[in-house]
Amino acid sequence: MIETITAVNQAVNNFIWGIPAMVCIIGVGLLLSVRTRFLQIRKFPYAIKTTIGRIFRKKDASDGAMTPFQAVCTALAATVGTGNIAGVAGAIAIGGPGAVFWMWCSALLGMCTKFSEVTLAVHFRERNKNGELVGGPMYYMKNGLGPKWQWLAVFYSLFGVLTVFGTGNATQVNTIVTAIDSAVLSYANGAKSILPTLNLIVGVVVAMLVAMVLLGGVKRIGSVTEKLVPFMALFYVVLALGVVILNIQRFPAVLSSIILGAFDPKAFTGGAIGSIFLSMQKGVSRGIFSNEAGLGTGSIAHACADTKKPVKQGMFGIFEVFADTIVICTLTAMVILCSGVPVNYGSAAGAELTISGFTATYGGWSSIFTAVALCCFAFSTIIGWGLYGSRCIEFLFKTDKVVRPFLVVYSFVAILGATVDLGLLWSIADTFNGLMSIPNLIALLLLSGTVVKLVNDFFATEGKTEKR
């Protein structure tokens, strides 16, 4: 029975995260880009000015809402996760250095996709009975497409609830305990016997911290993420840039291998990877999986932003994909390729390949810093997905009374993630995560005209009347 379920799930997963999904996500991204006349390129300087400028503007949000900066930090908290470290390593190992080039291409289109998701989420959001701003794909399906498309919103929310426990929580906690275990063993080989107890303690501590943050409401979530995300991003960027600077002599060759390897992977992988298509597939899928453009999840956080201009908040969507994929994922790739660590092309790889890039440059002690980065990335992801899950279950049950019990259960899943191997269940959760993209892409396609209208109306006045 288990074998049958595994086989069926694997087949569905390969489809969802395979060629058809990538074609659909890229297709919708290309359509939105064309219809907005490549807004993500034309208005990129404006997007950076708008987003970076608001980062330093201290302003309290109204009740039941976050500041625009807190919203983007919450979305980035869920987006910037362990996949930025492990996933990029896997893409390079299977797709060669050229996979990084295709990852950049997917990010370019993903900027417009995420911009559209955020803009629609803010435009079609509403207030719940507690006065909190709620929005996201299920709300722009409900309020933008009309009653006959209600089923689409229900499916999206259902898939969201089913995926948060695995994708958003348990796998992340598992990464935390793995990182801590590795750091402990690197200094005390004889400590293996205490690891099960240590993992249980870590699981309990994480569960309590997650519950404290999530049960405090959107304001506390925003307050935590606006402090945690900039810290962890800056911490990782500085560490990674250090690797590049200390190995700067390799940088020109690495850049060449990325660009030329995209079209001739065989030349840079010793013949282990000879397919351009494979390199493209791994790079594009990593870009999509990392920045979540097309899944619609990030827009749930942005809908909480205390702003009256959907398009202006949408600029954070462009910034988000840029920060996640162009900056952090690229730096991960540079750590691996510039450090000169051997890459076994054609074989699966994960976080250990990225960690080896740091340790080869800084020495074994850097495993501690990598463990800290992994813990920050994973914890922030748990917080972000907790908000997503609570909004999805609130939409399904049409009441906020189910939210707190849900968040309690969600928090304590961390203990299972730290102590139990539930491989199949997490694989199924990953499948549900991918299934979220189907109703979202349909909605984006049908609402592309609304996005164009909102953009044209906003830039007709260049947003001059907006001071917030």
Q: What is the pLDDT of residue 64?
A: 53
The predicted-structure confidence for 341-386, as pLDDT tens digits, reads as follows 888 888 777 777 888 888 888 887 777 777 788 888 888 889 989 9
Q: Per-residue confidence at 101, pLDDT binned at 50, 70, 90?
A: very high
Q: How many angstroms separate the CA atoms of 304 and 312, rounded?
A: 14
The predicted-structure confidence for 388-433, as pLDDT tens digits, reads as follows 999 999 999 988 889 999 999 999 999 988 887 666 666 777 788 7
Mean pLDDT of 169-183: 81
* Domain count of the fold of the chain: 1
Whether residue 233 has pLDDT greater than 80? yes
Mean pLDDT across the chain? 85
Burial readout 383-408 (b: 16 or more C-beta within 10 A, e: otherwise):
bbbbbbbbbbbbbbeeebeebeebbe
Rg over alpha carbons for the chain, rounded to the nearest Å, is: 21
Note whether residue 468 is domain-resident. no
Mean pLDDT of 153-181: 86
Q: Which amino acid is at 463?
A: G
Mean pLDDT of 11-35: 84
Q: What is the pLDDT of residue 38?
A: 95
CATH number of the domain enclosing 384 = 1.20.1740
Note whether residue 135 is domain-resident. yes
Q: What percent of the chain has pLDDT over 90?
A: 40
Mean pLDDT of 92-104: 90
Q: Which amino acid is at 239?
A: L
The predicted-structure confidence for 368-379, as pLDDT tens digits, reads as follows 777 788 888 888
Domain that holds residue 189: 2-458
CB-based contacts of 426, cutoff 8 Å, min separation 6: 166, 167, 170, 171
Q: What is the pLDDT of residue 467?
A: 46
Q: What is the pLDDT of residue 283?
A: 81
Q: What is the pTM of this model?
A: 0.88
Count of H-run helices and E-run strands, the chain = 23, 2
Which of 52-56, 103-107, 171-175 is predicted least confidently? Answer: 52-56
Q: Can you spell out the DSSP letters for 47-96? A: HHHHHHHHHT---PPPTT-B-HHHHHHHHHHHHSSTHHHHHHHHHHHHH-
Note whether residue 466 is domain-resident. no
Provide the sign of the torsion angle of the four alpha carbons 317, 319, 320, 322, taken in this order.
positive
The predicted-structure confidence for 44-93, as pLDDT tens digits, reads as follows 999 988 887 666 665 655 555 677 778 888 888 877 776 777 778 888 98
Q: What percent of the chain has pLDDT over 70?
A: 93
Structure tokens of 318? 């462009």
Q: What is the pLDDT of residue 406?
A: 95
Q: What is the pLDDT of residue 468?
A: 46
Q: Which amino acid is at 378?
A: A
The predicted-structure confidence for 448-468, as pLDDT tens digits, reads as follows 999 999 999 999 886 554 444
